[in-house]
């Protein structure tokens, strides 16, 4: 029977091909475009705001309208001059894989509905467990919508395993450089403010071990229950990795759950340099990585790995343990038992297809290139008398500011100057380069995880920064 939603074969084909053409054209031309776009709410409303129409339109008319009006008003996250936040370089194979997952609308919740989808999640999870040095037989994990959901899933699990039902005295620790999604997750879970310890970092933005030890001791004296520490393996701000081995030792001694948020930096383990910096990451009980960042995947795919898969099923499975035997083969995992979602899109597919297609070595090369690119930028900036490095190139992130030493600017003047440089860069739409605040200073932050960004791109952007800086300074005088 034909439904109201059906199109003819030819209509579907021409519609689909047009979309493929548009995406391919995007990949082919993105470097020629400016990465930034902007629009006010009024402008967007003027284009889009309508009542839901009762009557139909021609499919191609709606498609054309979207290609003409939605795409140009979205920043190009894969643009080589997209330096801010965490860029989304993505890749074509995964983008197409996502359209298979959606086109066939594959349910990735339970084994029975889609055994192959569950199997691919098991297989790709095994790849990740091996990459991060987690036990493959006992360990496990799950793909989530992103790092935020992976962190939330981790903290629920930590609380379940370490505290059971009573978490009234439970205390959780993290550093002031930990990603905001962790605090959000802690809040979602209903912890009170008094149960959260945000520990200061030292001058290089790493957790200060002594402060952690002292806080735990203090809390124990008060009869409280320290249960979890959240470390950062690549902070979003500076790429800094907390002292993982020392934290792991403390967590072992104190019986704390050790969660590592490697959403930003985790993927760096594929490169030699990254592996060194991330030494100790395999000692975590749970680890967040975010393939839609530095594994070059399109949104959305995050991931949580755990040392013992039964921690996840004991937290999220709603079946009583004694019914497990009649639930079918235990090895045939129902991923709805491993996390919060029941209905899940087939995220494993893009990860699987892109790694099968390009090979892990391509990822290693791209990540190594990104790390070395940031180091080259640092070297270049250090040679100039106009630039000051605020945090050195670490896992492809570098923070710096315009500071011509001979002009003896005050801190306040430097803050204003660098803020203004960023503002003008944004207004030019030539690059996305925004500021962050480090130790109270307003600085420019570059996150160089796009394999298409060249040193020439960076030089171009720095030249433009310098051009604006000079202009700002002459306007002032
Ligand atoms: C980006 C990021 C997150 C949040 O991940 P989303 O995918 O944006 O939800 C968490 N932690 C760190 C360190 C991040 O860089």
Q: Are residues 211 and 269 in the same domain?
A: yes
Q: Are residues 171 and 306 in the same domain?
A: yes
Q: Are residues 456 and 346 in the same domain?
A: no
> Do the strands 435-438 and 397-402 form a parallel or antiparallel pair, or are they unpaired?
unpaired
pTM confidence score: 0.97
Does residue 279 form part of some domain? yes
Q: Are residues 125 and 224 in the same domain?
A: yes
Q: Are residues 286 and 348 in the same domain?
A: yes
| Domain interval for residue 41 | 9-32+37-74
Provide mean pLDDT across the span 157-173: 97
| Domain CATH for 382 | 3.90.1150.170
Q: Are residues 301 and 418 in the same domain?
A: no
The predicted pLDDT at position 324 comes to: 59
Decide whether any atom of ligand 1 lies within 6 Å of the 110 Cβ: no
Decide whether any atom of ligand 1 lies within 6 Å of the 236 Cβ: yes
The predicted pLDDT at position 98 comes to: 98
Residue whose tokens read 């790995």:
305
* 51 pLDDT more than 90: yes
Decide whether any atom of ligand 1 lies within 6 Å of the 143 Cβ: no
Query: Ligand 1: which of 84, 85, 147 to mutate, judged by most atoms within 8 Å of the beta carbon?
Result: 147
Does residue 447 form part of some domain? yes
Q: How confident is the model at residue 477 (pLDDT cuts 50, 70, 90)?
A: confident
Does residue 275 form part of some domain? yes
* pLDDT tens-digit series, residues 116-138: 999 999 999 999 999 999 999 99
* pLDDT tens-digit series, residues 187-197: 999 999 999 99
Q: How confident is the model at residue 16 (pLDDT cuts 50, 70, 90)?
A: very high
Q: Are residues 345 and 241 in the same domain?
A: yes
Give the residues across from 387 on adjacent strands: 402
Percentage of residues in the chain having pLDDT higher than 90: 96
Number of domains in the chain: 3
HSE, side-chain direction, 13 A CA sphere, residue 370: 34
- Centre of ligand 1 from the C-alpha of residue 167, in Å: 26
* pLDDT tens-digit series, residues 66-108: 999 999 999 999 999 999 999 999 999 999 999 999 999 999 9
User: What average pLDDT does the structure give for the chain?
Assistant: 96
- Of 304, 328, 358, which one is at a domain's C-terminal end? 358
- Of 306, 329, 358, which one is at a domain's C-terminal end? 358
* 326 pLDDT more than 50: no
Measure the CA–CA gap between 27 and 21, rounded to whole angstroms.
10
Measure the CA–CA gap between 169 and 260, rounded to whole angstroms.
22
Q: Are residues 390 and 329 in the same domain?
A: no
| Domain CATH for 122 | 3.40.640.10
The predicted pLDDT at position 318 comes to: 85
Decide whether any atom of ligand 1 lies within 6 Å of the 181 Cβ: yes
Which residues have CB under 8 Å from 462's CB, separation 6+? 380, 381, 387
Closest to 384 measured CA to CA, from 455, 459, 438: 459
* pLDDT tens-digit series, residues 383-435: 999 999 999 999 999 999 999 999 999 999 999 999 999 999 999 999 999 99
* 183 pLDDT more than 60: yes
Q: Are residues 299 and 437 in the same domain?
A: no
Measure the CA–CA gap between 204 and 238, rounded to whole angstroms.
9
* pLDDT tens-digit series, residues 365-376: 999 999 999 999
Does residue 97 form part of some domain? no
* 22 pLDDT more than 70: yes
Q: Are residues 147 and 13 in the same domain?
A: no
> What is the arrangement of strands in the sheet containing 441-447, beginning at the earlier edge strand?
387-394, 397-402, 441-447, 435-438
- Centre of ligand 1 from the C-alpha of residue 150, in Å: 9
Decide whether any atom of ligand 1 lies within 6 Å of the 179 Cβ: yes
Closest to 264 measured CA to CA, from 280, 278, 279, 252: 278
């Amino acid at each position: 029977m034909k439904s109201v939603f059906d199109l003819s074969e030819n209509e579907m084909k021409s519609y689909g091909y047009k979309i493929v053409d548009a995406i391919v054209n995007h990949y082919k031309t993105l470097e020629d475009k400016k990465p930034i776009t902007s629009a006010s709410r009024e402008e967007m409303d003027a284009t889009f705001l309508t009542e839901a129409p009762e009557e139909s339109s021609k499919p191609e008319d709606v498609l054309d309208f979207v290609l003409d009006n939605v795409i140009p008003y979205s920043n190009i996250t894969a643009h080589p001059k997209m330096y801010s936040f965490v860029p989304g370089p993505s890749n074509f194979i995964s983008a197409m894989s996502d359209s298979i997952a959606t086109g066939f609308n594959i349910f990735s919740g339970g084994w029975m509905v889609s055994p192959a989808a569950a199997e691919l999640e098991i297989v790709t999870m095994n790849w990740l467990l091996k990459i991060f040095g987690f036990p493959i037989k006992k360990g496990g994990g799950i793909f989530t919508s992103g790092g935020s959901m992976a962190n939330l899933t981790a903290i629920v699990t930590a609380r379940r395993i370490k505290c059971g039902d009573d978490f009234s005295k439970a205390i959780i620790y993290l550093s002031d450089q930990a990603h905001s999604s962790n605090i959000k997750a802690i809040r979602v879970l209903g912890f009170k403010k008094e149960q959260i310890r945000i520990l200061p970092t030292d001058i290089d933005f790493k957790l200060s071990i002594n402060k952690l030890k002292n806080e735990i001791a203090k809390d124990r004296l008060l009869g409280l229950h320290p249960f979890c520490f959240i470390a950062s393996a690549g902070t979003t701000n500076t790429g800094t990795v907390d002292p993982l081995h020392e934290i792991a030792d403390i967590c072992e001694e104190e019986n704390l759950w050790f969660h590592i948020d490697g959403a930003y930096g985790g993927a760096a383990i594929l490169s030699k340099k990254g592996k060194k910096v991330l030494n100790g990451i395999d000692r975590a009980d749970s680890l967040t990585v975010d393939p839609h960042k530095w594994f070059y995947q399109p949104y959305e795919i995050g991931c949580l790995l755990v040392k013992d898969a039964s921690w996840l099923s004991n937290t999220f499975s709603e079946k009583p343990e004694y019914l497990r035997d009649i639930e079918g083969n235990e090895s045939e995992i129902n991923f709805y038992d491993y996390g919060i979602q029941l209905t899940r899109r087939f995220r494993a597919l893009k990860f699987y297809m892109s790694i099968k297609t390009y090979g892990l070595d391509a990822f290693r090369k791209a990540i190594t290139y990104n790390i070395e690119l940031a180091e080259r930028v640092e070297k270049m900036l250090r040679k100039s008398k106009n630039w000051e490095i605020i945090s050195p190139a670490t896992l492809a992130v570098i923070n710096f500011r315009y500071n011509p030493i001979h002009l003896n600017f005050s801190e306040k003047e430097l803050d204003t100057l660098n803020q203004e440089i960023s503002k003008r860069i944004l207004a030019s739409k030539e690059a996305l380069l925004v500021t962050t605040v480090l130790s109270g200073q307003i600085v420019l932050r570059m996150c160089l995880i796009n394999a298409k960004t060249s040193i020439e791109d960076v030089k171009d952007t720095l030249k433009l920064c310098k051009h604006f800086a000079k202009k700002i300074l002459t306007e002032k005088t």
